[in-house]
Each structure stands twice: as C-alpha cells, then as structure tokens.
Amino acid sequence: MTEHWHQRRSGGPSNRPGDLRTPWQRDRARVLHSAAFRRLQSKTQIMNVGENDFYRTRLTHSLEAAQIGASLINQLQHVSSAEHAELLPDLNLMETLCLAHDIGHPPFGHGGEAALHFKMLGSGGFEGNGQTFRIVGKLEAYHPEHGMDLTRRSLLGLLKYPVLMPALTAPEHLSKPGSLAQWKPAKALFACDSDLLDWVLQPLSDSDRELFQQVDTLSQAPWQKSKYKALDASLMELADDIAYGVHDLEDAVVTGTLSESQWHAHVDNVISALPKELAELMQKLGQQLFGREHHQRKNAIGALVNIFVTAVRLEEVLPQAQEPLIRFNATLPTDEAFLLKSLKDVVFEHVINEPSIQQLRYRSQNMLLDLFTALHTEPLRLLPRNTRERWQKAHQEQGQAAADRILCDYVAGMTDDYAERMYRNLFVV
C-alpha cells in the first residue's frame, strides 16, 4: 500500500517516542476514546433510548457492526487471491471505520437529521454521514485544526458518499417542515468541508476522481445520489447493513414489535424466490426466531449473519480506475443481497414505520426544530460559553452561514437525554 494512504493531514510525526502501534491502531484508539463515540450510548438507534433496557443504542449497534466487519475481513482473507487479500484493510482499520461510522448522527435518529437539515437549508444543509466526516476531520479535540487527525485511508473509508451537498434553497415563511420526505437530505458532505475532501482524494488521478465522484441526478429530494465508494467504505457499509437487517430485527422480535404473522406476511414471498437450499434454511431460521427458547433465537440470529458473511466477495465496480482502493468493492451475490434488503425492509416497515415509533419521532423532530430556533434566535444568550465564542468568531470572520454551522455542530452533538433536558429547560413550565 502506497505511503500517502498512511499520511495524516497535520503532517506531524506519526508516532510518539517508543510507540510501536500501526497507524490503524492509533486511529482506532482515537475513535474509541473520543467524546463523540461515548455519546453514542445515549443516542437512538431505532427505538428511543430509555424506553426499554434491552434493545440497541447507536453505541451497541456500532460495536456489533465492528464485529461483523472483522468477520468480513477474515472471510475475504481466506477466499480471495493473494493479490486481492493485500488490498483489504487490517482488522484495526476495519474496526475504526465501523466504530466511527455513526458518530455524526444527531439526537433522535433520522427524525433529528431531517429537522437539522431543514433548519440548515439556507446554510449548506445537514446529513449524518457528512457530520461524521466533519467530526473526525475537524471538530474532535485531538488536534486544534484537524479533529482526530486520522490517516487518509481511514478518512477515505468513512466516505460513504464522496460528493458535496447540492445547492440548497431555504423556503420562505416556513417554520416547520411538514412531511419528513419533502426535506430528505442528500447523502453528501458539506461544502464548507471541501478542503478536507480534496486532501483525502489528493492521491487519485484526475480521471479516477471524476469516475469516483459520479452522481445520479434525481428529480426530487434528495436531488442526487452518489454512485461509488471505496473498498473500505463498502465493507463498512455492508457490516452496517447486516447489523441493521439482522440485529435490529432481533430487537423487534424480542420486544414484540414484529409478530410471527407479520414476519410470514412479509418474508414468505421472499423465501419462495430464493434458491432451494437457502429457502429451506430461511424457513428453519424463521421458526427458531420466534421459538420459545431464547437460545434458538440467538442461533437464528447468528446463522443469519453467517449467511451474509460467508457470501461476501470482492468485485470490480470501477474497472477503468487506476487506484485499486476505488476499483474494488465488497459485494454480495444477487440472492443474498435480495435477502438482506428484504430483512431491512421488514425492520423498516414493521419497526420504523410502527405508529408508536413514528409518534415518538414526530415529537422528537419538533423538539429539535424548536430547540434550534431558540438557539438561532438568541445565540449569545443561550449557547454555552465555549460554543458562543466559536459562534461569534465564525460570525465575525465568515458570516451567518459559518455561524449556523457552528450552531448545528452543537445541536448535532447532543445526546437524546441532553436535548430533552435542554428543551425542558427552555420550554416546559
């Protein structure tokens, strides 16, 4: 692997005296010990934190994604050619990406994300993955200017969407967004972080960068969809999808949010479209998933993960590219990809779209809208002292949009509990 992927933006010494760790081990430690990572313990995964003591938060989800990511690497090392195996991230780098992938998510999950995006339409928008990139590259307090100052390859691996947010226009005389779908954010980075993106992609040739940053233009929000990601990002995203489709499914079964009849109504048609051997296995695992014995359900969950991990492969997705880290992606064969998408659809339809969950999301979204409005209206009065100083500096030197980004960083960094507490302090008599 060429040396430029090991570089840090600060250009400083790579290790302290006597420190024998690899760059990826140092990156992993920086993520693990960051304030942004710790805050995941009190951020919503799907069901609101505090509603039940069993199901997953963003923190436990990230830990499970890291374990699955390590399993994907182990599998690919055994089934890939020696040439392809050399391209794979090591286990420390894989864990770094999976542990960090959600640290940019705001309080209250995707409802909070949509609320912040609406409030930031006139100042560059908001999106959780873009905020992750911003935290690791600029905000976290390991370096005065470069955040965690991670290696270039780690930053490349966190680019699920390596493009900038399209131009946005704030609606006039509209204080609430109405339907979430109308303001769905583009999966993209913020224009104010284009310098960091340029640094990460600097080793790519002009032709490779043009290929890598292709987008499909959409006729409605979110307006664009990036087409490609790097090899490491594809592994991280696959681990994330498996954790979401399988482990969040377990939450739904255990809490009774998903019933056995709903499972069959959604999944039986899916199973009938699968090859015979996989279909028979899924029928058996469905029975275990809703069995009375807890160990049967855990076996079913493990077996579901195993289906996807053992099917992973490396595929050339950008054969014209010179850089192998963007030429190859980790993918699933058609049948396994269809099954994983179907499991994610079950979670979405019978958990995320459950009226009780949507009612909580609506409430939380409106809390965040009101909270942002109050802080935006009275920043010098309501913001904490250190955030207020950063807001003033940005406002004086760069203008309102830069000041709004500082405010957005503050709100996005709140845990669910902190946001609820601040809302009560400001609005509840």
Q: Is residue 146 part of a domain?
A: yes
pLDDT digits (tens, 9 = 90+) for 244-296: 999 888 888 888 888 999 999 999 999 999 999 999 999 999 999 998 888 99
For residue 328, is it within any domain? yes
Task: Give residue 183's pLDDT.
Answer: 79
Distance of CA 233 to the CA centre of its chain: 11
The parts of the chain modelled with pLDDT lower than 50 are 47-54
In a domain, 13, yes or no: no
Closest by Cα among 380, 423, 428, 374 to 403: 380
Residue 67 belongs to some domain of the structure? yes
Q: What is the pLDDT of residue 335?
A: 97
Q: What pTM was computed for the model? A: 0.93
Which pLDDT score is estimated for 380?
96
pLDDT at 52: 42
Distance CA 18, CA 16 (A): 6
- pLDDT, position 51: 45
* Shared-domain flag, residues 198 and 299: no
Out of 329, 355, 381, a domain closes at 355
Q: Are residues 325 and 308 in the same domain?
A: yes
Residue 387 lies in a domain: yes
- Give the per-residue pLDDT at 223: 78
- Give me the pLDDT at residue 53, please: 40
Evaluate whether residue 46 is within a structural domain.
Answer: no
- Amino acid 49: pLDDT: 40
CA distance 412 to 104: 7
Do 341 and 373 belong together in one domain?
A: no
Query: Is residue 42 one of the residues assigned to a domain?
Result: no
Are the beta carbons of 224 and 218 closer than 8 angstroms?
yes
Distance CA 234, CA 108 (A): 26
Q: Within a 13 Å sphere around the CA of 256, how many CA atoms are in the beta-carbon half?
A: 2
Residues 363-377 pLDDT 10s: 888 999 999 999 999
Q: Is residue 351 located within the same domain as residue 207?
A: no
Whether the Cβ atoms of residue 120 and residue 371 lie closer than 8 Å to each other: no
Cα–Cα distance, 149 to 155 (Å, whole number): 9
Same domain, 171 and 148: yes
| Domain limits for position 395 | 366-427
Q: Is the dihedral of CA 116, 118, 122, 128 positive or negative?
A: positive
| Cβ proximity of 325 and 227 under 8 Å | no
- Residue 285 contacts residue 278 (beta carbons within 8 Å): no
Contacts of 416 (CB under 8 A, 6+ apart): 42, 43, 44, 48, 49, 50, 107, 108, 364
* Contact in structure between 8 and 74 (CB atoms under 8 Å): no
Is 372 found in the same domain as 347?
no
Asked whether 349 and 325 are in contact (CB, 8 A), the reply is: no
Asked if 307 and 375 sit in the same domain, the reply is no
Token pair recorded at residue 9: 């933006």
Give the CATH number, domain containing residue 192. Answer: 1.10.3210
